[in-house]
Amino acid sequence: MSFRFEPIGRVRTAAESVPRHWSLSDVEGDLVIDEAYREGLTDIHPGQKLIVLFVFHRSPEFDRADLRQTPPNRENAMGVFSICSPRRPNPIGLSVLDVLGVRGSLIRVRGLDMLDGTPILDLKPWIEGERECPSRERD
């Protein structure tokens, strides 16, 4: 089985380097979403958090030797699924960003750990303390 994904937009930032993880980042930038998806941005507002799924598009191709890697903050190798390395079997990243503003199909965010031009696959709401997604009907 295989899957094919098309980006819904790209990251735009002037930052030349970014932290390795969103939880350590104050970097600001924009999520530039394709106009075809603009209507889907309705109800995204400043002050909320947004989950961004993206592609590690500059990461080297994964090799079985990458199943164990030594993160920069560790001395011992760890399994790839227990760390946040961009070298993964499927180079998909996830970040939780603070929404600073929304204008048309552009979302201003803080917390970027993505480089300029990073392809965005999907956006999802950050739901804290709720057991169900807000779009689900409740009994």
pLDDT of residue 131: 61
* pLDDT tens by residue, 78-132: 999 998 888 999 999 999 999 999 999 999 999 999 999 999 999 999 998 766 6
Q: How far is it, in rounded angstroms, from Cα 117 to Cα 138? A: 39
The class level of CATH for 9-125 reads mainly beta
- pLDDT tens digits, one per residue of 11-39: 999 999 898 889 889 999 999 999 999 99
Rounded CA gap, 39 and 8, in Å?
12
Cα distances (Å, whole numbers) of residue 15 to 29, 91, 96, 117, 122: 8, 21, 18, 11, 22
> Which amino acid appears at position 91 of this protein?
P
| The predicted structure's pLDDT at residue 139 | 45
Q: Examine the pLDDT at 77 and tell me if it is beyond 60.
A: yes
